[in-house]
Amino acid sequence: MSTTTAGDASTEMEEQGLTGSSGVNQGEEMKEDPDKSLLAQCLTPEQQIIPELVEAMRSNTPQIQFDAAKKIHRSMQLLGRPAEIGARVVINSGLLPTIISSLSSEDVDLVSESTLILVNVSAGTSDQTSAIVDGGGIPKLIAVFRTAPDAVKVRALTILGNIVADSGRLREIVIREGGLEPALEVLGDPERYPQKFFDTAAWTVERATGPDENGRILSNMGRPVLPILLKFIQLNSNDNTEAMSCAVKALRQVGSNQEGVNTIINSQMTSRLVQLCVTGNQGLQEDALRILSRFTAGRKENVQAALEDGILDALQHCIGIRIQVGTACWAAGNLARGTVSQVTALVNSPLISLIVGVAFDDTISLASRQEAAKALSFAARVASSFPQLLEPLAEARCIEALSEMLSLDDGRVGRFVLHGIKFFTTTEWSGRKLAIGRLKACDGIRRLRDVRLKAWARQDVSEMIAQGLLRTHFPEFSKYPRV
């Protein structure tokens, strides 16, 4: 579980009355460790809060409660990480209900210290985090967010975020009780809140929209969350922040179905996502590209809108810096199956040369190279009906790249590769003889001969295509070897 502790959420590390004293013992200078002294004053040998502090926390006098809460919080800090150590001390001492109840106090300082304690408890084990929920903490934390000073509001957000991140069960309880509303409120009105709110709010929403420990995603999150995420991403110009990364990741998670894709496209977000692909950090680029790639698999008008907003630039940039190469090639393959104007835009762009480079690059994953080969084959298929498009493909060394992919002995992509080669060499176009010469020069004959003998080629039409190419263009090499 990814959680935040009070040491992360606040810099309020100075505590009143916690310093020790130094003195001289029998002529030898001795300094007492103030931290050990405080722990000895606050904890029993059984690692529980001393009865005096427990009673002080249950006092009806806010100042007494505040002083006790301050010492308890400091003791939790001194116990260190993991956070469950300090959380265990508080829970085993029976103080958690009292601390949760303190959130409703009119004393701002007491509420502040109580949230610091609860941040650490919420970062503990799942059972410890659940104890906050079981103790009625969610509505009280929402109320704290509505009324407390900014520093305390952020802590309330952090606690709610830790609860959401703990498990699918707790996430559903938080959402049902309205515990996600503070985070959505922050992202939905970014001009109202300081920058320090955004990271926590966006992280909370990202965890709420993502898969739980069993890989399950809540299917009803899109409609309430999508408009808020879109507004935040559009209005926030600071790309390289944790908040932006979390917001875009959440957008990818809730916008995965066709309704979500249409909503994102209709919000005029494409150009912003293209910008994030180019200027963002790596995680941001990956999520933005994965969103953009979905635009290429839908309606043709959506594909056209994505092209007009610069999706080719995003694909080109990501392939160039080797980020989500397979996704980018898959999106290019979808474009290659679009309208003639869309395929023309792809073929005449620098992207084709980069895809060819992927097919050649044996340091790139096989899955990514497969997507590259399919994209080139799809483009060649459309170009076979519009021969003027075959020339730029050939000049980009598509034939050589497809031939190279034949050597991988990969039946999952071999059929696409063979069809791609066939489009170049059998279509009547001005460069047909040159295409055949290119295939011969890049060891294509040997590879075609080898393909015929592969088990995968004999399971479909691949053997027949390979033999047909040999018989038509290189008849002297078309005979099968003797067994």
Please name the residues in contact with 270: beta carbons below 8 A apart, sequence gap of 6 or more.
264, 292, 295, 305, 306, 309, 310, 311
Per-residue confidence of the chain (483 residues) as pLDDT tens digits? 446 654 454 333 333 332 333 333 333 344 456 667 777 788 888 888 999 999 999 999 999 999 999 999 998 888 888 888 999 999 999 999 999 999 999 999 999 999 999 999 999 999 999 999 999 999 999 999 999 999 999 999 999 999 999 999 999 999 999 999 999 999 999 888 988 899 999 999 999 998 877 777 776 777 889 999 999 999 888 888 899 999 999 999 988 888 888 889 888 899 999 999 998 789 999 999 999 999 998 788 889 889 999 999 999 999 999 999 999 999 999 999 999 999 999 999 999 999 999 999 999 999 999 999 999 999 999 999 999 999 999 999 999 999 999 988 778 889 899 999 999 999 999 999 999 999 999 999 999 999 998 888 888 889 999 999 999 999 999 998 876
- What's the confidence (pLDDT) of residue 318? 96
Query: Is the sign of the CA dihedral 238, 242, 243, 244 positive or negative?
Result: positive
- What's the confidence (pLDDT) of residue 458? 84
- What's the confidence (pLDDT) of residue 286? 95
Residue carrying the six token digits 């990969």: 410
- What's the confidence (pLDDT) of residue 321? 95
- What's the confidence (pLDDT) of residue 25? 37
- Alpha carbons 173 and 379: distance in angstroms, whole number: 50
Phi first, then psi: give them for residue 151, nearest 5 degrees. Answer: -60, -35
- What's the confidence (pLDDT) of residue 18? 28
Identify the bridge partners of residue 483 per DSSP, sorted by sequence position. none
Determine contact, residues 158/119, Cβ cutoff 8 Å.
yes
Please name the residues in contact with 174: beta carbons below 8 A apart, sequence gap of 6 or more.
133, 138, 160, 163, 164, 180, 208
- What's the confidence (pLDDT) of residue 3? 62
Determine contact, residues 317/353, Cβ cutoff 8 Å.
no
Start-to-end Cα distance in the chain: 61
